[in-house]
Amino acid sequence: MPRSKNTILITGAAGFIGAALVHKLLKNGEDIIGVDNLNSYYDPSLKESRLAYIENSRITYKGSWNFYAKSIEDDVSLKKIFELEKPNIVVNLAAQAGVRYSLDNPSAYVQSNLVGFANVLEECRRNEVENLIYASSSSVYGGNHNLPFQETQPVNHPVSFYAATKKANELMAHTYSHLYQFPSTALRFFTVYGPWGRPDMAPMLFTKAILAQRPIKVNNFGKMQRDFTFIDDIVEALYRCCYKPATPNLDFDPLNPDPATSSAPHRIFNIGNSKPTSLIRFIEVIEDALEMKAIKDFQPLPPGDVIATAADTQALEDWVGFSPATSIEEGIKSFVSWYRNYYQA
3-state SS class at 10? strand
Q: Is 24 exposed, middle or buried (0-12, 13-18, 19+ CB in 10 A)?
A: middle
DSSP state string for 119-153: HHHHHHHHTT-SEEEEEEEGGGGTT---SSB-TTS
Phi-psi region of 190 (alpha: psi -120 to 50; beta: other; left: phi over 0): beta
Cα–Cα distance list, 261 to 111, 169, 248, 258 (Å)? 27, 15, 7, 6
Is 162 annotated in the active site? Answer: yes
Report how far residue 312's alpha carbon sits from residue 272's, in angstroms, rounded to the nearest whole number: 7
- Under DSSP, the state recorded for 23 is H
The neighbour count for residue 59, using CB atoms within 10 Å, is: 5
CB 102 within 8 A of CB 161: yes
φ, ψ of residue 254 to 5 degrees: the values are -65, -15
The neighbour count for residue 115, using CB atoms within 10 Å, is: 15
> Measuring CA to CA, which residue among 296, 22, 332 is closest to residue 203?
332
φ, ψ of residue 78 to 5 degrees: the values are -65, -40
Catalytic, out of 68, 109, 162, 193? 162
DSSP state string for 248-291: --TT--TTS--TT--SSSEEEEEE--S--EEHHHHHHHHHHHHT
> Measuring CA to CA, which residue among 303, 299, 301 is closest to residue 103?
303
Q: Say if strands 225-226 and 277-278 run parallel, antiparallel, or are unpaired.
A: antiparallel
Residues annotated catalytic, as ranges: 162
